[in-house]
Amino acid sequence: MRTKFNGILTLLLALIVQISFAQERTISGTVSDESGPLPGVTILKKGTTQGTETDFDGNYSIQAKTGDVLVFSFVGMKSAERTIGTSNQISVVLEGDNVLDEVVVVAYGTQSKKSITGSVTTVKSEVLEKTNVASLDQALQGSAPGIQVSATSGQPGAATNVRIRGIGSINASSAPLYVVDGVPILTGDLSRLQTTSNILSSINTNDIESISVLKDASSASLYGSRAANGVILITTKAGKAGKTKFTVSSEYGIGDETLYDDNAMTSAQLKQYTIAALDNAFGAGSGEGIYNTGLPWAWDGVTDTNWYKETHRDKTTSQKINFSANGGNEKTTFYSSLGYFEQEGLIKTSDLTRVSTALNLKHKATDKLSIRFNINASHSKLNGPDDGGSFANPELASYFLLPNYPVYNEDGTYNLSFFSTYNPVALFERNFTTLKTTKVFGKTDITYEIIDNLEFNSSFGAEYIALEEEQYYNPDFGAGRNVNGSASAYYTRRYNYNWINQLNYSFDINDDNNFKLKLGYEIQQDDRYQINASGENYATDKLTNLQLTSKPTEASSFGTRNSFLSVFSRIDYNFKNKYFFDFSFRRDGSSKFGSNNRYGNFWAAGFAWSISDEAFFGDNFINSLKLRTSYGVNGNSAGIGNFDGLGLYGFGDYNGQGTSFPNQVANPDLRWELNKPFNVGLDFGMFNSRITGTLEYYKRTTSDLLLDKPLSTTSGFTVITENIGEMENSGIEVNLNTSNIQTDNFSWDTNFNFSTNKNEITKLDEGKDILNGTQIRRVGEHARSWYIRKWAGVNPDNGEPQWYINGKDGAVTSDYNEAERAIQGQSVPEIIASMTNTFKYNNFDLSFQLNYSGNYQVYDGWAFYTYNAGEFLSFNKNSNVLDYWQQPGDITDTPKPVWGNGRDATSSSTRFLYDGDHIRLRNIQFGYSVPEEYLSKAGISGLRLYLTGTNLLTYTFDDKLNFDPEVGITGQSDLRQANLKTYSLGVNLTF
């Protein structure tokens, strides 16, 4: 009986459990991605059509029972499944979808990565935010294959050299086109009194969502005559529907120089070297007497000034503060921000400050009409030192000024008794050069759906830039002394606007044939206006205003403009989402070129094959595989004068009468430089995309290079600009992403990119060489080839300098003029590579980036003075020359010093040409995110603390190299401020 009762009880309990499990209940939670809650996520009960969507805060609720499977799906994200257990709360974080399904910003729109036939690399905001730099182009260093970024100076906000797949021109620009939210913008150094500046530093990198780098014909040729050197597309941050999200970030840093040649001679060392030079010139034992009685700068035995420390900061400081808010509803979204940035340079008067703001609004007025408006504005002030070969340049002064001159006299006043009274420390107090830049960028975008799948878009963007520059030289010492003080005020205004209208239509035939058509019309105009005013002779040294000068020396104004008028089209076709074809065509008209070639046609064609979608591919460890190729023609109109194709007249004064005269010969056939890039690539993903990457080969041929062709002087002109040269760039690129370890509380990801570039000139005017100082342009050689004599060391018998006679090897000579010049390498790296590792453990994260540049040479042009073997002894010297030859049999690389006779030992040769190969720890960041459970009660959704280092370590492969090898495209050290090494502490707060 008991057994029967137990059986009945068991069945009854089982029935109750079954009924309870079958009962539906409310399941709720939040769906988000790595950036926050996701509105509009679809949640379905698997195997049914029953479901719901998340609201604007990413929240959802659904009726389901234990054992049901919920499927969470969202465009561009991997679907996720969760089985309902005992909990009524299920929250999900969605991850990005297959690497080939990622949406990428491209020319005039967006595309899925799977459909792209060209070469596009995307850099996301997280990468940009890990660097402590003033401009976005500097933040790109090491972030993508095929793009070389090199700083030309450590001056905050300095110009940066950016090259995509090599050097694209000789006389025109090789810089890429920059496009912000679809609008081409002005770039480069727009200042005229500063030694260096960069208008891109007016953009707050915190307002950037992503950057796409377009490198081949298929991706870039829709920009036509401006696309030859690649295109950099900048997308600013936009609002997301949902609860308003506030973010506050602050960062403070200190810095010093990356590499510093701390080898200037002390007073005692300079005395020793000078006496040796005198002995070798006038006889052994005579030097000290001549030194003590015949040299006005003889050492007093006490003074030993370190001019570098006197002119440079021990540590620099930097600070940036950013505040942003974004949110909205299904109709309207917004993003707004306010930012402050300041950074000091190494030289004591060098610094940059910037205030910026941004507003991005998007409104869906009706089901068919949407409007977007965004504006970015900034105001910055740059204080920069003088540059060049003057002692007003503190960088030069710190190496050249004698250590036995004191900064101050005994009474505390500045010592002005040397070198035409150029005391750089005194100049810091009395002179200044400032640049104030105001930039406003705005864009209005209207999109209207005419019928299903047919869309009209009109966007108008404008950029207004005002630069105010002031320079003052005091009347008591320095450059202004002989004119009783001088001042200059320069004003530059740039207004650049762009209007684009386009129709976009998409349709399919039988679901397998999918078409997208684009037709557009675009106009752009760039207006430039500038005023120059200068004067001298001040009545007082207490006021610095230009209007107080009594003698005007300059008063002029200048205005110019250039315009583009374009039509463009593109067709994209794919068959079964496996085979992709695209063709683009653009016709550009430019005011810059000759009347016979004012319009040009540019095009590109691309093909891609998604091999992994083929039936024969099957299931294996490779989950995505795509082959793509492209070819086309685009042009280069950057860096070309507005009137280079016209015959021009100059105006001046002749015997008190106004006069005009021809000063440029016309060339109505002048046209664009043409770039013909070929690209083939393979995109892949393996082991469920744990490993993804790209392999590419490219070859770009540049023809119709703009070069100066000599004319007979009987014509009245010396040269005419013609399209007469050709050049090639080719190489391979590798981009590899690996998810090395993924566990519940630990992950390790790696990005590695590697690229090569071989540059070769293939045609010049009549095959003639073009000499350019220490470099040469020659058919069959690199466009930046060093062309100098080859150093053969010091003759151990007599201490005289030697060079190889044929410029290569074999016989040597001590007669500099007898030695031949030869090509000795190039100034641009042929190999660049980068590796970034990211580790996450619970709430801790660590990332670091190593960069490599290889197979190039850099030259120390100022060594002519600092290493000179007997001349310019009124300048200080590098202490390395103390290892000079003294007696027969000495083996050294430094000739004996001879007073007044350097014997060309420091004239241009490979003696001061160094291998620039180096590895740099570009970025490192360590962070900690405070757990949410400690923050939620305070209404805080995120708090992260971090430490960042930039340029912390640099390893050079040439032991003799004693300056930073990152010197820009020219490859030459130019006595500008060293690049900064910085350490920063920051905090990010979200609520």
Q: How high is the pLDDT of residue 662? A: 87
Q: Is the pLDDT of residue 3 over 70?
A: no
Decide: 350 and 424 in contact? Cβ < 8 Å.
no
Half-sphere exposure of 788 (CA within 13 A, CB side): 27
349-363 b/e with 16+ CB inside 10 Å = b? bbbbbbebbbebbbe
Q: How high is the pLDDT of residue 713? A: 80
Task: Tell me the pLDDT tens digit for each residue of 471-501.
Answer: 999 998 888 989 999 999 999 999 999 999 9
Q: Match 């190593």 to its residue by tokens.
A: 850
Q: Is the pLDDT of residue 555 over 50?
A: yes
Which among 65-74, 251-260, 696-705 has the top mean pLDDT? Answer: 696-705
Q: How far is CA 389 from CA 386, 423, 859, in A?
A: 9, 14, 17
Task: Tell me the pLDDT tens digit for each residue of 398-451.
Answer: 889 999 999 999 999 999 887 555 899 999 999 999 999 999 999 999 999 999
Task: Tell me the pLDDT tens digit for each residue of 612-625.
Answer: 999 898 888 999 99
- Of the chain, the percentage scoring pLDDT greater than 70 comes to 96
Is pLDDT larger for residue 506 or for residue 262? 506
pTM, 2 dp: 0.89
Q: How high is the pLDDT of residue 188? A: 92
Instruction: Tell me what the mean pLDDT of segment 639-659 comes to.
Output: 85
The mean pLDDT of the chain is 91
- Of the chain, the percentage scoring pLDDT greater than 90 comes to 71
Task: Tell me the pLDDT tens digit for each residue of 722-762.
Answer: 899 999 999 999 999 999 998 888 999 999 999 999 999 99
Residue 266 in 3-state DSSP? coil
Q: Is the pLDDT of residue 17 over 80?
A: no
Task: Tell me the pLDDT tens digit for each residue of 780-830.
Answer: 999 999 999 999 999 999 999 999 999 999 999 999 999 999 999 999 999
Task: Tell me the pLDDT tens digit for each residue of 818-849.
Answer: 999 999 999 999 999 999 999 999 999 999 99
Q: Match 């150029």 to its residue by tokens.
A: 422
Beta bridge partners of 726: 763
pLDDT band at 30 (very low <50, low <70, confident <90, very high): confident
CA torsion 130→750→699→920, rounded to 10°? Answer: 50
pLDDT band at 14 (very low <50, low <70, confident <90, very high): very low
Q: How high is the pLDDT of residue 755? A: 97
Task: Tell me the pLDDT tens digit for each residue of 172-226.
Answer: 999 999 999 999 999 999 999 998 899 999 999 999 999 999 999 999 999 999 9
DSSP conformation letters of 790-857: PEEEE-TTT--EEEETTSSSS-EES-GGGSPPEEEEESS-SEEEEEEEEEEETTEEEEEEEEEEES-E
Q: How far apart (Å, rounded) are the C-alpha atoms in residues 564 and 640?
A: 14
Q: Domains in the chain, ordered, with CATH? A: 7-97 (2.60.40.1120), 129-258+313-784+827-864+914-990 (2.40.170.20)
Pairing of strands 972-973, 857-860: parallel
pLDDT band at 97 (very low <50, low <70, confident <90, very high): low
pLDDT band at 935 (very low <50, low <70, confident <90, very high): confident
pLDDT band at 290 (very low <50, low <70, confident <90, very high): very high
Q: Is the pLDDT of residue 114 over 50?
A: yes
pLDDT band at 76 (very low <50, low <70, confident <90, very high): low
Q: Is the pLDDT of residue 465 over 90?
A: yes
Q: Is the pLDDT of residue 548 over 70?
A: yes
Q: How far apart (Å, rounded) are the C-alpha atoms in residues 193 and 364?
A: 47
Within 8 A by CB and 6+ apart from 254, the residues are: 315, 316, 317, 318, 982, 983, 984
pLDDT band at 132 (very low <50, low <70, confident <90, very high): confident
Q: Is the pLDDT of residue 15 over 70?
A: no
Q: How far is CA 428 from CA 204, 383, 422, 567, 720, in A?
A: 29, 11, 11, 53, 45
Tokens of 574: 């794919």
Q: How far apart (Å, rounded) are the C-alpha atoms in residues 222 and 136?
A: 24
Task: Tell me the pLDDT tens digit for each residue of 55-64.
Answer: 777 888 898 8
Q: How far apart (Å, rounded) are the C-alpha atoms in residues 54 and 38?
A: 7
Q: How far is CA 866 from CA 225, 291, 401, 424, 881, in A?
A: 45, 20, 11, 18, 9
